[in-house]
Amino acid sequence: MGACGSDSDSASSSASPSAASSVSGSASASESAAKIVASTNLDKITVSGDYGKSPKVDLKAPWAIDKTRTRVVKATDGAVVKAGQTVEVNYYGVNGRTGKKFDDSYSRGQSVAFNLDQVVPGFKKGLVGQKQGSRVLVAMPGSDGYDASGGSEQTGIKVGDSLVFVIDVVAVELAGPEGAAVAPKAGLPTVTDKNGVPEITVPKTDPPTTLQVQPLIKGSGKKVGADDTITMNYRWVAWRDGRLLEETYSSKPASAALTELLPGLQKGLVNQTVGSRVLVVVPPADGYPQGNETPKVDPGETVVLVVDLLFTQAAQ
């Protein structure tokens, strides 16, 4: 199946030159790349193959592009990729100067996840505005690729080389919880939503002595694995007096490996699904039996958390 759709100019932005792929190191400037007349469109590139499978990319090398440009190969109505978000993708990269593949994720059998602020500018420009479930063709000049890091001797990329990527957008970080409401069992703290922020009211009773895990919204996304890194918003209060200990809603979501969290959160969030809002009541044995300084938790104190699961990625 040939490529279809119209070309679009990508919005300008900047980012670290660190790569979504395995590109690293340095290489000298390419004299031949400097002599290639840069194309102003993607008409000479065809992409075939099904979403989720390694594509076939045809272009007549040597080839170059004037600025980062994109074309949607397979369109969907999925969640929209926004600047600063974490995304999961499969990708296939071709060097325009040689016409040869320099890297891909399909052959490794595992997609990759990264924050868009941590990739080369062309990758970020090409993905912002695209949708989950889509296949996108992105071409970028060296200035939006690996010129800033001196190219890559390891993969044969030289300064000035234009790069062509076919990208399957597998998953997109959510802006908030999405799913079906779940009625909580009696006796737990109550949670109300105020403009997307959970408000927690703790009952005037003794706290439970065992870990309590109660989904409030059941998402339909991927399950959180024991070794995953999750992106989440959370609000955290003390059972004793309801005082706020910590929250992320007023700033930006947090990302952390599940194994780095409190034992109660590790137990409570594993196998929960992305899109879920989960209430977790953590007794001292699964939290801070000796207390904690920042945030201030007294020894023997029970804490209450509401967690919105926005994204999860397997260990890579």
The model's pLDDT over 101-159, given as tens digits with 9 standing for 90+, comes to 999 999 999 999 999 999 999 999 999 999 999 999 999 999 999 999 999 989 999 99
**pLDDT < 50 regions, the chain:** 1-27
**Would the CA dihedral through 84, 130, 233, 250 be positive or negative?**
positive
- Domains, the chain: 7-172 (3.10.50.40), 180-313 (3.10.50.40)
Give the integer Cα–Cα distance in Å for 108 and 203. Answer: 51
**Predicted local confidence at residue 30, as pLDDT:** 55
The model carries a pTM of 0.79
User: Dihedrals φ, ψ of 205, to 5°?
Assistant: -135, 170
Any bridge partners for residue 87, and if so which? 114, 172
Closest CA to 266 of 238, 216, 306, 226: 226
